[in-house]
């Protein structure tokens, strides 16, 4: 039905069709939270963060984003992807808190409990910057899918940095995402070019400028020494592992962990993926007092 409506809009006028295509491309569907995610959020400390959005649509206004926090250590920010929710990364919360870290997540504009119904990549980067500023210096970032693209754009603006980064199923080849959408809704090359022009006019960033090498800035990464673990499933049908390889190849000293049979979302609940993520992020963190007490008890028992 959507594809037919879009084609009808193009018949009436190219401008109408392009406007409709832009709206479709930037309008996420909002899905309900499953019970397991609700349980995780219930254990956190909820709040709202007022974030300024630079998009012309917002005219310099702000948006109040739903956020949650757990623990009392160095902060790790969890960033969800397109049509996702912060609670999708809820399986990481307990293990990270047990490792002595504080965990922060949020729902992006147009997602979960946050307002609005549209999301541009620049909006997501603004949201990440705003939440990161509110929660203090970041020890680490875990981003899923389109969330990784938002983190990279925030990185490229020199506004958000973390020494330890984990990007899972990263959807970071932006022109590939546009091409996939164009094929799905039946846009020809001219219509796709028109869509890209509208996106560039809205965000101030041409799609061709959002290349991996521009977003990563290997020189800055190398100077800072920020680490990156990329996790991607070989059978991911939504975002090809090519994205993971491209990101790992552009970021100095990045490591790629390829999984099998976990797909695009189940990967977020896999014990081995969670363990690998915690291993990266716990580096340099003082163990919780309970762990220190247990270690002292163990040593005393061995005397």
Give domain status of residue 147, yes or no: yes
Give domain status of residue 280, yes or no: yes
Give domain status of residue 239, yes or no: yes
Give domain status of residue 157, yes or no: yes
> Among 155-159, 259-263, 280-284, whose mean pLDDT is lowest?
155-159
Confidence of residue 301 (pLDDT cuts 50, 70, 90): low
Cα–Cα dist 159/151, whole Å:
10
The CATH number assigned to the domain holding 244 equals 3.40.50.1820
Average pLDDT over residues 202-213: 89
pLDDT of residue 296: 45
Give domain status of residue 92, yes or no: yes
Cα–Cα dist 212/215, whole Å:
5
Give domain status of residue 145, yes or no: yes
Confidence of residue 297 (pLDDT cuts 50, 70, 90): low
> Residue 50 pairs with which residues in a beta bridge?
64
> Residue 168 pairs with which residues in a beta bridge?
144, 231
Give domain status of residue 209, yes or no: no
More confident residue, 110 or 285: 110
Cα–Cα dist 293/303, whole Å:
16
pLDDT tens digit sequence for 152-194: 999 988 778 899 999 999 999 999 999 999 999 999 999 999 9
Confidence of residue 300 (pLDDT cuts 50, 70, 90): low
Give domain status of residue 182, yes or no: no
pLDDT of residue 291: 52
More confident residue, 138 or 297: 138
Average pLDDT over residues 239-261: 96
Average pLDDT, the chain: 91
> Residue 166 pairs with which residues in a beta bridge?
142, 229
Question: In terms of DSSP bridges, do strands 62-70 and 102-106 run parallel, antiparallel, or are they unpaired?
Answer: antiparallel
Cα–Cα dist 239/244, whole Å:
9
Confidence of residue 125 (pLDDT cuts 50, 70, 90): very high
Of 4-8, 186-190, 217-221, give the range with the top mean pLDDT.
Answer: 186-190
DSSP run (H or E) holding 258 = strand 255-259
Q: Is the pLDDT of residue 36 over 80?
A: yes
Q: What total number of domains does the chain contain?
A: 1
Range of the domain at 266: 41-173+214-302
More confident residue, 242 or 300: 242
Contact 196, 26 (CB under 8 A): no
Q: Is the pLDDT of residue 83 over 70?
A: yes
């Amino acid at each position: 039905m959507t594809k037919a409506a879009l084609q009808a809009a193009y018949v009436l006028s190219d401008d109408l069709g392009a406007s409709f295509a832009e709206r479709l491309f930037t309008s996420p569907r909002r899905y309900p939270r499953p019970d397991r995610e609700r349980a995780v959020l219930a254990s956190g400390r909820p709040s709202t963060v007022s974030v300024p959005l630079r998009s012309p649509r917002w005219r310099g206004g702000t948006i109040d984003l739903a956020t949650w926090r757990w623990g009392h250590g160095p902060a790790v920010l969890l960033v969800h992807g397109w049509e996702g929710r912060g609670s999708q990364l809820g399986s990481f919360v307990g293990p990270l808190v047990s490792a002595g870290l504080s965990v922060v997540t949020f729902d992006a504009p147009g997602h979960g409990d946050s307002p609005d119904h549209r999301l541009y990549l620049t909006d997501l980067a603004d949201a990440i910057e705003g939440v990161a500023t509110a929660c203090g210096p970041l020890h680490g970032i875990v981003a899923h899918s389109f969330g990784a693209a938002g983190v990279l754009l925030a990185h490229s603006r020199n506004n958000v940095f973390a020494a330890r980064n984990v990007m899972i199923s990263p959807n970071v080849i932006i022109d590939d995402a546009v091409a996939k959408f164009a094929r799905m809704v039946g846009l020809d090359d001219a219509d796709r070019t028109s869509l890209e022009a509208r996106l560039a006019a809205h965000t101030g960033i041409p799609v061709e400028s959002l290349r991996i090498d521009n977003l990563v800035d290997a020189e800055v990464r190398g100077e800072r020494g920020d680490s990156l673990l990329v996790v991607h499933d070989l059978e991911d049908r939504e975002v090809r592992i090519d994205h993971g390889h491209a990101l790992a190849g552009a970021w100095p000293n990045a490591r790629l962990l390829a999984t099998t049979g976990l797909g695009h979302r189940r990967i977020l609940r896999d014990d081995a993926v969670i363990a690998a993520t915690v291993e990266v992020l716990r580096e340099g963190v003082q163990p919780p007092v309970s762990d220190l007490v247990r270690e002292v008890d163990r040593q005393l028992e061995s005397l």
